[in-house]
Amino acid sequence: MSRQAIKVENLYKHFGKDESFVDVIQDASFSINKGELVALVAPSGAGKTTLLLMIGCVENPSSGKIWLGDEKVYDNKWLTGETRKIRREKIGFIFQSHYLIPFLNIIDNLTLLPQTNGTSDKVAQAKARELLKYFEISDKEKAMPSQLSGGQNQRVAIARALANNPQIILADEPTAALDMQRSVDVIKMLKKIALEQDVAIVMVTHDDRMLPYCDKIMKIENKTIIFE
């Protein structure tokens, strides 16, 4: 069975035209396997979030090819009219802020996406409770986001990203709002998830202290992708 989670070939992204034309990504080609935690590092404005959103079927590339797992999803155009379906079924997203729905309790936040995908309430709740136990916050299932600490809310946000059993997790600065100890805790948690859940995690970070915990470091330099 293939270990490939993400494959990109000759990916380009530019904005504007004529005098306002700006190249962001040029001829990016790389692959990431299941079970890997990959850091994406670049100066501000270099295209990290843009690359993440192209992989996540949110931002339109200018040209190139993208595979998620063994499925080619982009070949100079999206190969499906349902990119939202790909996102719901294959990808989990984690952001700087937790973006939990403030008027839903924790377990309802976790079950919302699976239920949107057609999972029964019983199965979605069982998965949510399994995740809350995994993240050691089972006692918070009926709490509201406002009743949790920042670190606890970020755990819930990571649990939510796993609720639809994704192949890939895309994390945009998931530790930016946390102190050093909580940041390390989150990175260790992501590493554990990559290994135990067999998912590929691509994480944008500005914090060099997080890099030793990652399997690979992917940099954007001069609009091209370089691995360390």
pLDDT at 148: 92
What pLDDT is attached to residue 31? 94
151-186 in b/e burial notation, b at 16+ Cβ within 10 A?
bbbbbbbbbbbbbbebbbbbbbbbbebbeeebbbbb
Residue 202's nearest CA partner among 72, 13, 66, 41 is 41
* CATH number, residue 47: 3.40.50.300
Q: What is the pLDDT of residue 2?
A: 76
Task: Give pLDDT tens digits along the chain (228 positions).
Answer: 678 999 999 999 999 887 888 889 999 999 999 999 999 998 888 888 899 999 999 999 999 999 999 999 999 999 988 898 898 888 999 887 788 999 999 999 999 988 888 889 999 999 999 999 988 899 999 999 999 988 888 889 989 988 888 999 999 888 777 778 878 888 888 898 899 889 999 999 888 888 999 999 999 988 889 887
Q: Are 40 and 203 in contact (CB under 8 A)?
A: yes
Structural domain span for residue 157: 4-227
Q: For 199, what's the count of Cα atoms within 13 Å in the CB-facing half-sphere? A: 25
Q: State how far the alpha carbon of 190 is from the alpha carbons of 155, 162, 194, in Å.
A: 10, 11, 6
pTM of the model: 0.88
Q: How many domains are there within the chain?
A: 1
